[in-house]
A and B are shown apart, each in its own frame.
Chain A
Amino acid sequence: MVENFRQVPSPAEISYLWRRAGFGISVAGAEARTSWTWTQLVDELVDAPAVPLPRPASFDDPRASSADREKDLTVSWLCHMATTPAPGAEKLAWFFHNHFSCSIRKYVHPHLALRQLGALQAGSQGPFRTLLESVVLDSAMLLFLDNHLNTTGRTNENLARELLEVFTVGTGSFTQADVADVARSLTGRTIAWEDPALPATFAPHLHDHGTKTVLGRTGAFDGPGVLDVLCGDAGRWPLARRLATRLWTQWAYPRPSTAVVDEIALRFLGGGATGRALMRAVLQHPAFRSEEARSALPCTPVEVAVALHRNCELPRTNVDVHHYPALRAAGHLPFDPPNVGGWPDARGLWNPMSWWTMASIHTYAMVHLRDQGVPWYAQIKGMEPFAAATAMLRRLGIAAPTDETVFAVTAGIVARHATDQWGLDHAVFLAAALAPDTLAPV
């Protein structure tokens, strides 16, 4: 009976699912799905095929600088996250963007970032082995981890080490001897020197054609060959557990039990080792619907910025002028992770600096809504205090605001209702934006 009861998702639970496995949903959107089963809700997010990001205009503008294109790409992606019809696929690509952490500060060329993002969007839902090759053996990653300089007899181990430690099997599953032979296998995988924006190439004369031993398997492996070993019998179990742990940690709660990790890893492998199988295994796990998972993680700064953009129907200008620098200051700018391990977990991204920056983009959103005379915002300002508070929180995508937040926002409006419009705007909007519900809905 309890299980049956729990099968009926509330708007708040649907919002929770879409926050973790998408980029949030409007309250109206959540309410429209309350008659769906959990499986239907999960399938919608998991199955919708990814919609690729349209090529940003600056990439065809010969006058645009590298910095212009980098910013254009980042802003375009942030906007795409807010509006894509396949938010589940986009969120999975965002997860793998963090998994295959790769900083444009080092590889520099925006064309490479664009192609890597294309590979993530096209490949995240499919077999992990395919995704792995399309990201790791492509120019952005080869440059990021110095593999363009890894040649026979003169190995550079940077990519080999991170491939083992971060991208696949993880610490404790390999030795320094494995690193050395993975590096030998990756020799000759290089960039197109005449134009690094072109796809990566293979230079046979720079490749070490000798025999290597990796995770106990021996053969004359090349790049794809060594990825086969890591994703094959020798590496698939630690690899599956690593992916399960990472997705669970970012979407449900930190430090999952061995049982949870093993169960998701098994379902991932049983489902063809695809991104879809991994995502479905996490979302369908009973513990994903537990109170522990619901209350463990705040939204990340990127999630807050994207949700604000969508909920308030902000123009691209706001993302360009305000969200981009704010996310940089918050240390959560796409294409610019702090190191090859990716960003800290959701709580680790929050500190006074990121709180200030996220509060500031809400302020700029309010200025836009006020100055442009956006009709729904003008309408809210005309309401009675309690109705205005409720409508504003609903507009910000908070399906079940806490009593004290509703009280605080209402009180803020009451206190300033008789004052000038400037004061009222702040009361209506900032009181809602600064409430804990906005960063961590219950």
Chain B
Amino acid sequence: VLPADHTYEQALDALSQPLEVTPGGVSRRRFLQGLGAAGVLAASPAFAGRVAAAPGAPPSGPPNLVVFTLGGGNDGLSTLQPSGETLLDWIRPNLLLPRAALLPLADGWGMHPALPNLHAAWGRRELAVVGSVGASGNLSHFDSIAEWFCAGPTPSGGALAGTGFLGRWLDTHDDFADAPLRAVSLTTNVPLLLIGQRTAGCGLSTGSGYMIGDDRSNAVVSDLFNGVEVLGDRAIGDASAHGFVARLGATSVRLAARLGPAYAPPVSTGSAMVDQATVAARFLNDASLGCQVVHCSFGSFDLHVDLPLAQFALLGELDRAVGALFAGLQPDVAARTALLVHSEFGRRTWANPSAGADHGTASYAFVMGPGVDGGRVYGEHLAVDRFDAYGSPPITVRHLDLLGTIMGDWMGADPASLFGTPTSSLGLFRAGARPRHAHDP
């Protein structure tokens, strides 16, 4: 059974007590309590020093990519915030964090106090901040997330519409039928991100409670599972729904037999984010699964209401999840792993009257890992005094260039063919840090 999404409930807890909302002072008492808790977190980063320093020679083995999608549109200007006085003090005063609470970045900006693990990685130069990044600036959740996942030559995807860039990356491997776990999503369903033209990633969960087919010690059920496999194999090439579920049955019982170890012991931290990150590390650690890409998705950052309080809880979970991921990875696997944290869009610079912010355009993305040339901002910080047509900070870095850098410089793919359009590298990774493995040209 999937763990309850406590974060989301906490966020809604504020919504269910609307009388606490007063203009300009959202649940201030509880917010300050949250700041106190963050101080404790900051004093004890969960995994400081856990990630191995990158060796001189490039790590050997396939490169891995973990994608954290912050669903709903994460507010960039409260994730990172100027540490001096700016126009923001006038137009979003009730969304600003107390300056003293910010974790300093030494460039006139500070990081949200709920992010001590990310801040420590910044200090180790393993965290790259990509500023003012966005897709076409569409304000719809669905269109914008589709633009990020599809990442085609036009906002609607052109000839690549209906596929995701990691799905198309799966397509480039001729052995995809033998590697069903090369890309997995831990959100149960398979997102567009992992759907290709020839194949698709695998949708799994953070719990194994239901895996039918994992135990074949009993002869009776073992026969049945063999039968399910036979029916599935006979249905290869059958495009009907009947063939679809027959193949699904065979895939499911086979997967159950392989996945058991990755789910033991069971994960139940009370946070969907941390659970997904913990299982993601196990998938990457187990070389026999052949897993290179894990997609995790958390939400909802769609904070039209009471943004500071809910953002605090959500970013805190994100930070613990990042900690759990890198603490869970074996050092040699961590050296081959990069993490992308992104959201479909940012939020408007102006606070709305509900102490939230409506859908915006540009936001921040993070790229983290031992191979990352971090401790610096790529592109520009979000503008605090310039706005696009919707009152958002303008987009100055194309999401295609960010994704192209990761897929080209880290995963070793050809960005131009993957995205149907040339991309320019942001240079996020250190020279020689990219893992070398047998599939390289």
Binding site for B on A (CB under 8 A): 105-106, 108-109, 143, 146, 148-149, 151, 154, 156-158, 161, 165, 171, 176, 193, 196, 295-298, 325-326, 328-331, 338-341, 344, 346-357, 359-360, 363, 402, 404-405, 408, 411-412, 415-416, 419, 422-423, 426-427, 430-431, 434-437, 439-442
Residue in A105, A357, A422 whose beta carbon sits within 8 Å of that of B210 in the complex: A357
Q: Are A347 and B252 CB-contacts (below 8 A) given A105-B8, A158-B358, A408-B227? A: no
**A412 contact set on B, CB distance < 8 A:** 223-224, 227
Is there contact, CB below 8 Å, between B223 and A415? yes
Residue in B18, B240, B256 whose beta carbon sits within 8 Å of that of A440 in the complex: B240
- Write the chain B residue with the least CB distance to A149: B354
B32 in contact (CB, < 8 A): no
Mark contacts of B340-366 with chain A using CB atoms, 8 A cut-off: 1 yes-contact digit, 0 otherwise: 000000000000111010110000000
Distance of A113 Cα from B255 Cα, bound (Å) = 37
> Do most interface residues of chain A lie in helix, strand or loop, or is the interface mixed?
helix
Is there contact, CB below 8 Å, between A105 and B255? no
B217 in contact (CB, < 8 A): no
Is there contact, CB below 8 Å, between A430 and B141? no
Which one of B219, B227, B305, B359 has the highest number of Cβ atoms from chain A below 10 Å of its Cβ?
B227
Is there contact, CB below 8 Å, between A352 and B251? yes
Name the segment of B165-173, B198-206, B285-293, B378-386 touching the other chain. B198-206
Sample 8 A-B pairs with CB under 8 A, ordered by A number.
Answer: A193-B18, A193-B19, A298-B244, A339-B71, A339-B141, A353-B205, A355-B249, A356-B252
Residue in A106, A338, A404, A430 whose beta carbon sits within 8 Å of that of B221 in the complex: A430
- Write the chain A residue with the least CB distance to B352: A156
**A149 contact set on B, CB distance < 8 A:** 304-305, 352-354
**A193 contact set on B, CB distance < 8 A:** 18-19
Query: What's the nearest-Cβ distance from chain A to residue B51, in Å?
Result: 31
Distance of A298 Cα from B356 Cα, bound (Å) = 41
Is there contact, CB below 8 Å, between B1 and A353? no
Query: What's the nearest-Cβ distance from chain B to residue A357, in Å?
Result: 5
**B contacts with A, residue count (CB < 8 A):** 63
Which one of B16, B139, B212 has the highest number of Cβ atoms from chain A below 10 Å of its Cβ?
B212
Is there contact, CB below 8 Å, between A329 and B2? yes
- Write the chain A residue with the least CB distance to B254: A352
Query: What's the nearest-Cβ distance from chain B to residue A16, in Å?
Result: 11
B228 in contact (CB, < 8 A): yes
B233-259 contacts to A, CB under 8 A, are 234-235, 240-246, 248-249, 251-252, 255-256
Is there contact, CB below 8 Å, between A176 and B12? no
- Write the chain A residue with the least CB distance to B72: A339
Residue in B18, B189, B244 whose beta carbon sits within 8 Å of that of A331 in the complex: B189
Distance of A148 Cα from B234 Cα, bound (Å) = 55
Q: Nearest 6 CB-CB pairs, A to B?
A: A154-B353, A295-B240, A351-B203, A436-B246, A440-B241, A356-B210
Is there contact, CB below 8 Å, between B212 and A360? yes
**B143 contact set on A, CB distance < 8 A:** 171
Q: Are A146 and B203 CB-contacts (below 8 A) given A193-B19, A408-B227? A: no
Query: What's the nearest-Cβ distance from chain A to residue B172, in Å?
Result: 23
Is there contact, CB below 8 Å, between B241 and A298? yes
Given contacts A105-B5, A176-B139, A351-B188, 18 further A-B contacts (CB under 8 A): A105-B12, A165-B140, A171-B143, A329-B2, A346-B241, A348-B190, A352-B203, A355-B248, A356-B211, A356-B212, A356-B213, A359-B252, A402-B242, A405-B231, A408-B230, A416-B220, A426-B220, A441-B242
Is there contact, CB below 8 Å, between B241 and A156? no
Q: Are A439 and B190 CB-contacts (below 8 A) given A158-B304, A408-B227? A: no
Residue in B231, B244, B305 whose beta carbon sits within 8 Å of that of A347 in the complex: B244
